[in-house]
Homo-oligomer: A and B are copies of this chain.
Amino acid sequence: MATLFLNKSDVRNLLNMAEVIKAVEQALRDCALGKAKMPPKAYLVLEQGDFRAMPGAIPGAAGMKWVNVHPQNQSLGLPTVMAIIIYNDPATGYPLAVLDGTDITAYRTGAASAIASKYLARKDSHTLGIVGAGRQSYTQLMAHGELFDLRQIKVFDRRAAAVETLIKSFSAYSIKASSLEETVDSDIVCTVTPAREPFLKSEWVRPGTHINAIGADAEGKEELDPSLLKKAMVMVDDLRQAAAAGEINVPVRNGLFKVEEVYATLSEIVIGKKQGRKDKKAITIFDSTGLAIEDIAVAKLVYDKASKAGGYLSLDFV
């Protein structure tokens, strides 16, 4: 037996968004059918940052992502978030692979959003608004590009250079640097910021819009005007995670929104247990916190491709 080691560039070269979307959708299906396991994340909170252990299993695959968030890393020239995934054989526990998990995280987050948009956005959605032009915005765009005919993309970020870089990276698309309000005036809106104060005003959102609220991933983070939650259909990826650290966490704590008001989990919608968009005028919101089973599903995809291709670093490790 041997363990495969796949670093950042190995993983990046093996990732394909269309395949990732399929793998993530299957993991959501497995989850709703009770075939997946995902214990709560374990948090290690230190002075300068924190770490999360995210264990998960789907049929045929098990493992764990260990990921840090150190906000001051940018000033040191290091990524804020770095992740390693240990990928195991569920039958024996053998560690089949150790993979860089940073791009896997970004890809699965983009994929989950696009899957939410597939079930919740209007079928005739052609405009995509992206608020926040950081690292996570790229995979939001890529994933939506796989599932939608995007005729116009609008991007807002206070950092003009970040918007410029994003636009240059996707030359095949028509992308326009826009104001925040213009960006929100889109069929599908993805919010991908580290905001701790709601910036997206309820009155800017036109009927029929679908919003993927991606940014909030820790207690105290919040992107949307909480009154928007009251007039929208709210979906989450995981109810416990969303209430603790997702877009709804602050409104739930403040008593402005109740956990019981969440309409469904995305996985319930994927298997048809709950209906997706019911009416053209509805505003729908997907509160994404990121699931360990999504990471494991993509790790399996990457591992399967790498072992089939051969030529990657393989060690007798444990």
Contacts and interface: CB of A to CB of B under 8 A. Distances in A.
Interface stretch (A95-103, A121-129, A174-182): A95-103
A93 interface: yes
A18 interface: no
B86 A66 contact: yes
Interface in A65-98: 66, 68-70, 73, 76, 78-79, 81-84, 86, 88, 90-95, 98
Contacts of A42: 39-42, 53, 55
A92 to B, nearest CB: 5
A5 to B, nearest CB: 7
A90 B48 CA distance: 7
Contacts of A258: none
A8 B92 contact: no
Contact of A46 (B62, B81, B317): B62
A56 interface: yes
A55 B53 contact: yes
A73 B88 CA distance: 14
A37 B48 contact: no
Interface string A161-178: 000000000000000000
A86 B88 contact: no
B93 A68 contact: yes
A217 to B, nearest CB: 15
A88 B51 contact: yes
A318 interface: yes
A88 B78 CA distance: 14
6 contacts: A44-B55, A44-B64, A48-B91, A53-B53, A82-B93, A313-B315
